[in-house]
Amino acid sequence: MKVTEYFEKAQGQTLTSFEVLPPLKGGSMQSIFDTLDPLMEFKPPFIDVTYHREEFIYTERKSGFFEKVAIRKRPGTVGICAALMHRYGVDAVPHLICGGFTKENTEDALIDLNFLNINNVLALRGDARKFDTKFIPEEGGHSYAVDLVRQISNMNKGIYLDSNIENGNKTNFCIGIAGYPEKQFEAPNIETDLKYTKAKIDAGAHYIVTQMFYDNKKYFEYVDRCRAAGIHVPIVPGLKPLTKRYQINSIPRNFYINLPEEFSKALLKAKDLSHIKEIGIEWAIHQSRELKEAGVPCLHYYTMGDSDTIVKIIEKT
- Amino acid 28 reads S
Predicted pLDDT of residue 74: 55
| Consecutive H or E run containing 308 | helix 307-315
pLDDT at 26 over 90: no
β-bridge pairing 66-71 and 55-60 = antiparallel
In contact, 124 and 178? CB cutoff 8 Å: yes
Spatial distance between the Cα atoms of 211 and 41, rounded to a whole number of angstroms? 25
| DSSP string of 62-79, one letter each residue | TTS-EEEEEES----HHH
Q: CA nearest 144: which of 205, 209, 223?
A: 205
Rounded Cα–Cα distance for residues 313 and 280 (Å): 10
At residue 246, the pLDDT reads 95
Rg (CA), the chain: 20
Residue 57, pLDDT above cutoff 80: no
If you average pLDDT over every residue of the chain, what do you get? 92
How far CA 283 is from CA of 83, 212, 239, in Å, comes to: 33, 13, 11
**Mind listing the pLDDT tens digit for each residue in 231-280?**
999 999 999 999 999 999 999 999 999 999 999 999 999 989 999 999 99
Task: Classify 97 as helix, strand or coil.
Answer: strand
- 287 phi/psi in degrees, rounded to 5: -60, -50
Per-residue pLDDT at 289: 98
- Rounded CA gap, 286 and 310, in Å? 13
- The DSSP output letter for 187 is S
| pLDDT exceeds cutoff 80 at 182 | yes
What pLDDT sits at residue 52? 67
pLDDT of residue 67: 61
Q: Is 25 helix (H, G, I), strand (E, B) or coil?
A: coil
CA distance 247 to 153: 37
Predicted confidence band at 214 (pLDDT cuts at 50, 70, 90)?
very high
What would the pLDDT profile of 106-150 be if each residue is shown by its tens digit? 999 999 999 999 999 999 998 766 667 788 888 999 999 999 999
300 closest CA partner among 174, 198, 179, 147 = 179
**Residue 58 pLDDT > 70, yes or no?**
no
Q: Whole-model pTM?
A: 0.92
Confidence label for 166 from pLDDT (cuts 50, 70 and 90):
confident
Find the mean pLDDT for residues 193-199: 97
Per-residue model confidence (pLDDT) at position 66: 61
Are 98 and 144 a contacting pair, CB within 8 Å? yes
Higher pLDDT, 57 or 198: 198
Closest by CA to 22, choosing from 53, 45, 46, is 53
Per-residue pLDDT at 100: 85
Q: What's the pLDDT tens digit per position in 90-103?
A: 999 999 999 889 99
